[in-house]
């Protein structure tokens, strides 16, 4: 049985309903041998074209900023304004005209002040058209601005652009498609406006009012020419709007000779911040001690929030201090455009309309010679004329990094800069960043979920959990001595196992002894040992005596080593790594663990 294609049928019904009246009119026009003369139709057409265009300009100048503000504001006031702006859409046009009479009519204060010049003039027509057509643009602009990625304006702020510059150079170009559609709808609505116009400005005739007068005086035949003129004018505007586009500049980028920036070691990073977003509170402090810091934590811990507070993108109380050769400098209270901080969010946040070369020059005061140096250093010089949609994920991250470095920031903030990349690309970018840190002494704060990444790129580590600091300090000290099991998990430490201290302070796992402790008997603890510290032996092999007994349950052969998962009699599982061959699954084994390799925490 053939199924009826429901969607095409439904779409076809509406399309037929919209087009059949126009086709019927065209048949009538062709069959009558032309349209009857209608003196005055030309003047009415000119009036409609001129007033609709003026009204659209007014709507654009006033409505685009209104749509932008409504898109960026939250709360009851913004919601109420959004509803009120759309109210003219719900009102019959005649009622809109009546409402305008109360504002600009001859007996209203504003109308009396102007001597009645706001009605029965072209000014009155424009006022009526603006009132009924403005919501089309405001709604479209609000939706277009709401779809703009906030990261684009955030990054622009850290690149030195103020509020007006971010609106003009970021929000407007990105939302341009929606705004153009809204302007077209507003013009068409203004061109076809009748009800409010006939109340407020009956004269001079617009094309809709002229058609109404013709129909009322001599009937349907007298409307053929005005209808034909209106259809032709509207169709011309629609076709022009769909096909006419401003030509894009295709000039090839000419890169100047690269100049290495004169850098000096970055400042020491310190901060003490509190902030609240929704119901989530952040309270994080870090004393100045190193130039490179990694913030580790689970999802929702407040890591990205901390970076945004450091950049000045999030209202926060407290201090941010950069301590360099000239002493400590406080950044708290400065707008993001004045902090001279580079910021790389999780998405590269490249402007879709700009080429790579224009991206790296987007920062205020960017030096083209320095930009050319970073393009060359990061392997992007051959991609200077490409747009973001022509780049791979790794290339986009490099462009974002070059853009931030071109302004010579005092501090670089990186929010999971390698997330979502293929392993080879991720490893390559990690080592590129490490080389930059080493060569330039650049100060960085890195947010990551990856303990290996933090160890590679930071001298100090801060563990964040639920908006508070769980542990912080030198990287090697934190990794060697996690403060508790949760910190150990954040650091990627495996083999966390429950145990009990037995008589004589001996830690036992089941019946087997693990190591001696100075804790009293009966103390419940969590202990761990690094996988590379465990030595495996089969029951019938050398060294089989002593240690923990277990059974191999899984063997994972990786490129550089083999992971062996062993189940203990208690049901706990430990993972051991080795470079040689491993026992097969189900093989009984013993585990030798050096006592000094065990870290334990008393249960609270």
Q: Where are the alpha helices (DSSP H) in 383-516?
A: 393-406, 423-440, 451-457, 475-480, 485-490
For 153, the token pair is 């304006």
Percentage helix, strand, coil, to 5, in the chain? 50, 20, 35
Q: Find residue 535's DSSP bridge partners.
A: 592
CATH class entry, domain 21-243: mainly alpha
CATH 2.40.50.140 given to domain 494-602: yes
Ranges of the chain whose pLDDT falls below 50: 543
pLDDT at 464: 95
Kindly report the CA angle at 76 between 71 and 79, in degrees rounded to 5?
40
Q: Are 178 and 356 in contact (CB under 8 A)?
A: no
Residue 417's nearest CA partner among 447, 459, 462, 457 is 447
Question: Per the omega criterion (within 30 degrees of 0), is the bond before 204 cis?
Answer: yes
For 131, the token pair is 């009132």
The single-letter DSSP state of residue 536 is E
Domain 268-486, CATH among 3.10.180.10, 3.30.43.10, 1.10.3720.10, 3.40.50.300: 3.40.50.300
Q: Where are the alpha helices (DSSP H) in 244-378?
A: 303-311, 356-360, 368-377
Provide the b/e sequence for 88-105 (b: ≥16 CB within 10 Å). Answer: beebebeebbbbbbeebb
Residue 70's nearest CA partner among 175, 173, 165 is 175
Q: What is the pLDDT of residues 183-238, one digit of tens each?
A: 999 999 999 999 999 999 988 999 999 999 998 888 888 888 899 999 999 999 99
For 47, the token pair is 């009036």
In the chain, where are the structural domains located? 21-243, 268-486, 494-602
Residue 48's H or E segment, with its range, is helix 41-72
pLDDT at 86: 93
For 564, the token pair is 């062996």
pLDDT at 124: 94
For 418, the token pair is 């390698």
Same fold, 268-486 and 494-602: no
Q: What is the pLDDT of residues 547-557, one digit of tens each?
A: 788 999 999 98
Residue 527's nearest CA partner among 497, 571, 550 is 497
The whole-angstrom separation of Cα 414 and Cα 293 is 10
Residue 324's H or E segment, with its range, is strand 317-324
Q: Are 460 and 292 in contact (CB under 8 A)?
A: yes
The whole-angstrom separation of Cα 103 and Cα 106 is 9
The whole-angstrom separation of Cα 88 and Cα 91 is 5
The whole-angstrom separation of Cα 179 and Cα 368 is 32
Q: Find residue 135's DSSP bridge partners.
A: none
Question: Which residues, 6+ apart, have CB-to-CB distance to 19 below 8 Å?
Answer: none
Q: What are phi and psi of 12, to 5 degrees?
A: -65, -35
């Amino acid at each position: 049985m053939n199924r009826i294609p429901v969607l095409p049928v439904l779409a076809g019904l509406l399309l037929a309903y919209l087009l059949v009246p126009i086709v019927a009119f065209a048949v009538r026009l062709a069959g009558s041998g032309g349209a009857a003369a209608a003196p005055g139709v030309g003047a009415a057409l000119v009036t409609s074209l001129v007033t609709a265009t003026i009204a659209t300009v007014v709507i654009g100048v006033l409505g685009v900023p209104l749509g932008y503000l409504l898109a960026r504001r939250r709360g009851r006031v913004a919601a109420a304004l959004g509803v009120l702006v759309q109210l003219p859409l719900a009102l019959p046009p005649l009622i809109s005209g009546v409402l305008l009479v109360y504002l600009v009519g001859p007996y209203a204060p504003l109308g009396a002040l102007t001597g009645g010049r706001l009605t029965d003039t072209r000014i009155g027509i424009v006022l009526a058209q603006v009132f009924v057509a403005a919501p089309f643009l405001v709604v479209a602009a609000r939706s277009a601005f709401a779809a703009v990625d906030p990261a684009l304006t955030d990054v622009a702020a850290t690149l030195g652009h103020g509020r007006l510059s971010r609106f003009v150079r970021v929000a407007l170009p990105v939302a341009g498609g929606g705004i153009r559609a809204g302007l077209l709808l507003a013009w068409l609505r203004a061109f076809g406006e009748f009800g409010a116009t006939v109340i407020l400005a009956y004269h001079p005739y617009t094309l809709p009012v002229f058609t109404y007068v013709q129909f009322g005086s001599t009937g349907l035949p007298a409307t053929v020419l005005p209808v034909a003129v209106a259809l032709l004018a509207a169709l011309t505007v629609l076709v022009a709007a769909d096909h006419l586009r401003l030509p894009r500049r295709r000039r090839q980028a000419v890169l100047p000779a690269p100049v290495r920036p004169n850098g000096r070691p970055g400042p020491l990073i310190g901060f003490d911040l509190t902030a609240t977003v929704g119901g989530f509170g952040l309270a994080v402090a870090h004393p100045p001690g190193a130039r490179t810091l990694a913030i580790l934590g689970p999802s929702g811990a407040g890591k990205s929030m901390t970076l945004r507070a450091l950049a000045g993108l999030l209202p926060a109380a407290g201090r941010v201090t950069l301590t360099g050769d000239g002493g400590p400098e406080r950044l708290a209270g400065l707008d993001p455009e004045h902090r001279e901080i580079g910021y790389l969010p999780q998405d590269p946040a490249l402007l879709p309309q700009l080429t790579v070369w224009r991206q790296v020059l987007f920062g205020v005061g960017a030096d083209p010679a320095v930009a050319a140096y970073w393009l060359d250093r990061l392997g992007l010089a051959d991609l200077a004329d490409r747009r973001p949609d022509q780049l791979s994920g790794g290339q986009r991250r490099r462009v974002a990094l070059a853009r931030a470095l071109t302004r010579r920031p005092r501090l670089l903030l990186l929010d999971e800069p390698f997330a979502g990349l293929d392993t080879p690309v991720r490893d390559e970018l990690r080592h590129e960043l490490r080389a930059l840190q080493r060569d330039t002494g650049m100060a960085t704060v890195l947010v990551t979920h990856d303990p290996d990444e933090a160890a590679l790129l930071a001298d100090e580590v801060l563990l964040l959990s639920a908006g508070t600091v769980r542990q912080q300090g030198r990287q090697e000290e934190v990794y060697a001595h996690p403060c508790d099991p949760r910190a150990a998990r954040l650091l990627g430490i495996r083999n966390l196992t429950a145990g009990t201290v037995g008589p004589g302070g001996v830690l036992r796992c089941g019946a087997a002894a693990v190591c001696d402790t100075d804790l009293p008997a009966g103390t419940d603890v969590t202990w761990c040992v690094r996988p590379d510290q465990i030595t495996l032996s089969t029951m019938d092999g050398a060294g089989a005596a002593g240690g923990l007994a277990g059974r191999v349950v899984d063997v994972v052969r990786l490129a550089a080593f083999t992971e062996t998962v062993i189940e203990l009699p208690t049901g706990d599982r430990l993972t051991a790594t080795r470079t040689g061959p491993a026992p097969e699954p189900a093989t009984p084994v013993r585990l030798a663990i050096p006592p000094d390799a065990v870290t334990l925490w008393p249960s609270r």
